[in-house]
Structure 1
């Protein structure tokens, strides 16, 4: 793992632009993990990522469907098959005796038919997984981890926090040729 890249996304649109920029450097077989608290901007990033792949359909959080599959094109024009996964609801509390949380998550992915796609994406498939950090090492030793945080919106104004405001995005390459590809991202 190398030094993470930190980018500030000042607006919702800049978060989408960052998602599109990351999509422009992806290739088939890539796994990208998004993490951050509720409301951090993971789905907004995913919308930009979909835009960057030329996907026409809406990109919405797959929280209740667990995964959505959409087709577009990589930057080189080759077909792209996006599997957008939301692992938030995976890994419930009911474990078999001796089963650890990663094994439980992998079992759930298998029951959904996603284990093979996630373990070894096809040559035209890219995985974009929200809330997947708990199974990162088990799924993909080569991956791009994107952590999104929101600086504290708490102040003395009495105004409730909104989805507006800057986000701090930390992009960490893990294996593969991610280091060289990240040089193409705007700083």
Structure 2
């Protein structure tokens, strides 16, 4: 069952990221989606804070993946792999098996295919822009979609801003997340 939350500010988006991070224990795959300027990186920054990561969390668009170390709420080591899949599969991507094979080849070339299929007990994969990829590789995942209602998505100049309400929908997928609760640690 999906959870829908109204998030009015970027500070509230950081807080939501911290709250979701507090429910993680390792081995999770999280798919973060939404249009440009929706707040995916803002959520990721809060998520990193929730894992006690002290390095800056920035969009890994040009590096594709960044690996960061922190701690879970119980003090055990946490390893975050923050992936931006925007450019993966971008060459004539179309739904279908050939496209998925091409995507898998790209993931394998950067060493992420096995991590997505079976993250180790201390690793969390947080993937932005990976809707097609995560669905093909991770049968069990937490999908977080961030949307901006039309009336709050832009400033007077029609440019996306950090301000304005977002609607966040968290959808657990697979048996691992069957009883996911945003207010309790996730027991895998």
TM-score by length of 1: 0.89
Which residue of 1 is the match for residue 59 of structure 2?
Answer: 61
List alignment gaps of at least 5 residues for structure 1: none
In the TM superposition, residue 20 of structure 1 has moved relative to its aligned partner by 0.5
Which residue of 2 is the match for residue 164 of structure 1?
Answer: 163
Which structure 2 residues correspond to residues 34-183 of structure 1 after superposition, within 5 A?
34-93=32-91, 100-153=98-151, 159-161=157-159, 162-183=161-182
C-alpha separation between the residues in 1 aligned to 2:19 and 2:87? 28
Paired residues, number: 180
C-alpha separation between the residues in 2 aligned to 1:159 and 1:90? 31
C-alpha separation between the residues in 1 aligned to 2:22 and 2:182? 12
In the TM superposition, residue 99 of structure 1 has moved relative to its aligned partner by 5.7
Runs of 4+ in structure 1 off by over 4 angstroms are: none
C-alpha separation between the residues in 2 aligned to 1:176 and 1:77? 26
Tell me if structure 1 keeps the 8 A contact 2:20–2:47.
yes
C-alpha separation between the residues in 2 aligned to 1:127 and 1:182? 19
Structure 2 CA distance for partners of 1:87 and 1:16, relative to 1, 3 Å: same
SS at match of 1:146: strand
Correspondent of 1:20 among 3, 6, 18? 18
